[in-house]
Amino acid sequence: MKPPAFVDCPGILSERLSPDMYSDIPGLEIFHGAPADEEGLIDRLRGRRHAMVSSGHLSRRVLDHCPELETVAHLCSRLEDHADLAAAARRNLRIECVGETGDRSVAEHMVTLALCALKHIGETDRALRRGDTALPRGEEIRGKVFGVLGDGRGSDETARLADALGATVMRWPERPGAMPEGTRWAALDEILATADILSVHPSQGNGTDSETITRFFDGIKPGVILVIAGRARAMDQAALIEALQSGRVAHLACEFGPELVADPASPLLTMGNVTCVSPSSWLTPSAVDRLLTSGFRLLARHIAIYGN
């Protein structure tokens, strides 16, 4: 039987990799870089009982070709996007994810984007480069209603930071857990109707996935600042553009992937009230260290429970 392996360590993780992180896993094999295709992933996984995966998709075919595999520690926050969970369940394969390790990084990113919109940082930068020295009129975040839509530690941390800056913070959906003083749970309709800033943390199953965000537009307060965590690849761009042009959304700040850059005709690339950023809100040295450490701890726990 082959030893445990980290089968697809990308460069951004390799840079922070330290032997101290996996000292509890003797004989660990580390493959740097993603395999070229599904066949390559199967080749790296086959013959192992335990593995750690960064971003590889564990399809039914992959799992069927790796019958020895018993556990997988996945460096993701949502397994549904990275594995055929039904196929894993049929063969009692234990796949666990590390969850959110970039929660602080994401929260800082979201609040920064909201502040950039309030202060017109992007527009001012572009105007000055054109020679326009007019002074923009910004806003303070203190006293603004800051709505946080979504669950998870990233949205929790965003609420805490917004509260610390003096915003009135409202959360949806409601769930157990302590929140900062001044933050309260509220119905979705109330948040949409009153929020000056909407921080949306997409997640399947709670009504904030990318495909349904644009359904909020009919109920939102006109002139809202919309900040979205993660890529907006599945969003209805036509509805989004219409909301931006009509003023229902005063400013959009969002992560966009290659699908937007590949469409140079998209109005989102030229609209002054849109801030486009790369999908790297989670990517800081501290967050990467937490991700790797959590992944190796999970892998070590699997080995301790099921044997090597």
Q: Encode pLDDT of 48-96 as tens digits.
A: 999 999 999 999 999 999 999 999 999 987 788 789 999 999 999 999 9
Instruction: Encode burial over 101-112: b for 16+ CB neighbours within 10 A, e otherwise.
Output: bbbbbbbbbbbb
Q: Is 93 found in the same domain as 127?
A: no
Q: Is 158 found in the same domain as 267?
A: yes
**Closest listed residue to residue 304, CA positions, set 75, 8, 94, 7:** 94
38 pLDDT higher than 80:
yes
| pLDDT for res 100 | 67
Token pair recorded at residue 192:
């949409």
pLDDT bracket for residue 232 (50, 70, 90)? low
Q: Is 219 found in the same domain as 267?
A: yes
Q: Is 241 found in the same domain as 121?
A: yes
Q: Is 61 found in the same domain as 207?
A: no
Q: Is 302 found in the same domain as 270?
A: no
What CATH number is given to the structural domain containing 84?
3.40.50.720
Supply the range of the domain harboring residue 41.
Answer: 5-101+285-306
- Report phi then psi at 65, rounded to 5: -90, 0
Q: Is 270 found in the same domain as 141?
A: yes
Q: Residue 71, SS3?
A: strand
Q: Is 120 found in the same domain as 244?
A: yes
Instruction: Encode burial over 169-190: b for 16+ CB neighbours within 10 A, e otherwise.
Output: bbbbeeeeeeeeeebeebebee
For tokens 């840079």, the residue is 15
Token pair recorded at residue 248:
């229902």
Candidate from 34-43, 93-102, 120-129, 299-308 with smallest mean pLDDT: 93-102
| CA distance to 8, 47, 84, 87, 222, per residue, from 65 (Å) | 17, 10, 13, 12, 53
Q: Is 181 found in the same domain as 204?
A: yes
Q: Is 87 found in the same domain as 65?
A: yes
Beta-strand pair 29-32/71-74: unpaired
Q: At what angle do helices 103-119 and 285-306 cross, to 10 degrees?
A: 150
Q: Is 293 found in the same domain as 204?
A: no
| pLDDT for res 32 | 96
Q: Is 230 found in the same domain as 129?
A: yes
29 pLDDT higher than 60:
yes
| pLDDT for res 154 | 84
| pLDDT for res 74 | 95
Q: What is the domain count for the chain?
A: 2
